[in-house]
Amino acid sequence: MMSDREIKEAVLRELTWDTQVEATEVGVEVDHGVVTLTGTVSSYGKKSAAQNAAHQVFGVYDVVNAIEVNVRGKQVRSDTELAHMVRQSLEWDGRVPDDRITSTVEHGVITLEGRVDVWAQCEKAERTVRHLTGVKEVINRIQVAPPPIAPSQVQQTIQDALARRATHEAKYIRVGVEGGTVTLSGRVQSWLEKRAILGAVSHAPGVQAVNDQLRIGLSR
């Protein structure tokens, strides 16, 4: 197991390596594997990128993202401008059902609402607007309302997907389904493997929400 000091050094190196993040703007503290990010950045995209960078470091269990977004100068957009940018971005992305998603913009904070068929569409909509210039925060309230499907069928679909996309880790993952909520537990070896598993689950019909209890580490 890595010590907190080793994890902190690794996170700082990852932030320095990631071109989406200004490492000097981000502070890092680690307590028993839990990383807290602080500081001020100029965009919500940088805040999200810092969080993703920290998650990719081996030994990191959880990340508390306390980074503040301060949009300055030419990056400042009026709420009206942002609203138009959000609509155009959703319309241009063919993987998002833009006609079923609405947005509210207030002081640079975007709130997404609507109903989609699969969890992947909910996540993609957020990623589509996250990096727009002038965005301070994205609140995702999109609901997943798939066609009725039996929990046993959801579980089998997910297990089949895990076997295809994460063959080395699938046998260590426990899948629970209650209603439309899927609970994933067990251990994976890296943040990338965790993302692959979550990606497989997000495309399964019938999944309305995911309770992610996956841990990163070698011990099972």
What average pLDDT does this structure show over 49-64? 87
pTM over 0.85: no
Q: Which residues, 6+ apart, have CB-to-CB distance to 214 below 8 Å?
A: 173, 184, 185, 186, 187, 188, 194, 197, 198
How many domains, in total, are found in the chain?
Answer: 3
Residue 101: the pLDDT is: 95
Residue 57: the pLDDT is: 86
State the chain's mean pLDDT as an integer. Answer: 85
Residue 149: the pLDDT is: 65
Last residue of a domain, one of 117, 144, 171: 144
- Same domain? For 45 and 12 the reply is yes
How far is 98 from 116, CA to CA, in rounded Å?
10
Task: Name the token pair of 146.
Answer: 């798939």
158 burial class (0-12, 13-18, 19+ CB within 10 angstroms)? buried
Q: Which residue has the higher pLDDT, 198 or 51?
A: 51
Kindly report, residue by residue over 114-140, the tens digit of the pLDDT: 999 888 899 899 999 988 999 999 999
- Same domain? For 46 and 63 the reply is yes
Distance of CA 144 to the CA centre of its chain: 16
What's the distance, Cα to Cα, between the start and end of the chain in Å? 13
What average pLDDT does this structure show over 105-111? 94
Last residue of a domain, one of 42, 69, 96: 69
Is residue 40 over pLDDT 70?
yes
Phi and psi torsions of 83, nearest 5°: -60, -40
Residue 147: the pLDDT is: 67
Banded pLDDT at 160 (limits 50, 70, 90): confident
- Same domain? For 26 and 65 the reply is yes
- Same domain? For 139 and 81 the reply is yes
Last residue of a domain, one of 144, 160, 188: 144
Is residue 166 over pLDDT 60?
no
Residue 100: the pLDDT is: 94
Is residue 204 over pLDDT 90?
no
Per the structure, the complete domain to which residue 207 belongs is given by 151-216
**Percent of the chain whose predicted confidence (pLDDT) is above 70:** 90
Residue 189: the pLDDT is: 77
CATH number, domain containing residue 138: 3.30.1340
Q: Which residue has the higher pLDDT, 104 or 32?
A: 104
CATH number, domain containing residue 33: 3.30.1340.30
How far is 145 from 17, CA to CA, in rounded Å?
39
Q: Name the maximum alpha-carbon separation found in the chain.
A: 53
Q: Which residues, 6+ apart, have CB-to-CB distance to 99 below 8 Å?
A: none
Q: Which residue has the higher pLDDT, 177 or 137?
A: 137
- Same domain? For 87 and 134 the reply is yes
Which of 48, 93, 89 has its CA nearest to residue 67?
48
Q: Which residue has the higher pLDDT, 81 or 23?
A: 81
Residue 219: the pLDDT is: 53
Kindly report which listed range (117-121, 147-151, 190-194) carries the lowest average pLDDT score.
147-151
